[in-house]
Amino acid sequence: MNWQSDLNSIETSFAPTLERWYERHKRDLPWRHTRDPYRIWLSEIILQQTRVAQGKPYYERFVAAYPTISEMARTDERDLLRLWQGLGYYSRARNLHQTARYVTTQLDGKFPDTYHELLKMKGIGSYTAAAIASFAFGERVPVVDGNVYRVLARVFGIEEDITSTQAKKTFAALAMKLIQSANDPATYNQAIMEFGAIQCTPMSPDCLLCPLQQQCVAYLTGRQNKLPVKSKKAPVRERFFNYFIFRNNGKIALRERMTRDIWQNLYDFYLLESERSDSLSGTSNELQTALSATSVQESLHEVVRERVLAVPPTEAVQLLSHQRIRAQFYIIDLPDHLAGSLPIDLQWYTPDETEHLPKPVLITNYLDKLFG
127 touches DNA by CB under 7 A: yes
For the bound state, the minimum distance from the C-beta of residue 362 to DNA, rounded and expressed in Å, comes to 6
Tell me the backbone φ, ψ of residue 217, rounded to 5 degrees.
Answer: -60, -40
Pick the binder of DNA from 11, 12, 32, 181 (CB under 7 A): 32
Could you give the CA distance from residue 46 to residue 121 in angstroms, rounded to a whole number? 16
Residue from 13, 20, 77, 88 binding DNA (CB under 7 A): 88
For residues 70 and 50, what is the distance between their CA atoms, to the nearest angstrom?
25
Is residue 361 close enough to count as binding DNA by CB under 7 A?
yes
Sort 44 into a burial class: Cβ within 10 Å, 0-12 / 13-18 / 19+: buried
196 binds DNA (CB under 7 A): yes
Among 105, 183, 323, 350, binds DNA (CB under 7 A): 323
- The whole-angstrom separation of Cα 82 and Cα 249 is 25
Q: 268-307: which residues touch DNA (CB under 7 A)?
A: none
Among 65, 271, 293, 319, binds DNA (CB under 7 A): 319
Question: Is residue 225 at the binding interface for DNA, with CB under 7 A as the rule?
Answer: no
Tell me the C-alpha distance between 368 and 372, whole Å: 5
Q: How many residues bind DNA (CB under 7 A)?
A: 65
Contact 195, 202 (CB under 8 A): no
Distance of alpha carbon 40 from alpha carbon 212, whole angstroms: 29
Choose, by CB under 7 A, the member of 234, 258, 280, 344 that binds DNA: 234
The single residue among 8, 9, 54, 183 that binds DNA, judged by CB under 7 A, is 54
- Of 3-11, 17-25, 209-217, 257-265, the segment contacting DNA by CB under 7 A is 257-265
Q: Identify the three-state secondary structure at position 238.
A: strand
190 lines the binding site for DNA (CB under 7 A): yes
The least CB distance from residue 179 to DNA, in Å, is 16
Q: Which of 18, 73, 87, 254 binds DNA (CB under 7 A)?
A: 87
Coil, strand or helix at 279: coil
Checking DSSP bridges between strand 347-349 and strand 251-256, what pairing results, if any? antiparallel
- Output 262 or 287, the one with its CB closest to DNA: 262
* DSSP code for 281: -
Judged by CB under 7 A, the stretch of 6-14, 69-77, 115-123, 176-184 that binds DNA is: 115-123
Q: Which contiguous run of DSSP H or E holds residue 242?
A: strand 237-248
Q: Among 45, 35, 101, 32, which Cα is nearest to 69's?
A: 101
Q: Write out the residues near DNA by the rule CB under 7 A.
A: 29, 31-32, 43-44, 47-54, 86-91, 95, 121-129, 131, 145-147, 149-150, 163-166, 190, 193-194, 196-197, 202-204, 230, 232-234, 260-264, 318-323, 360-362
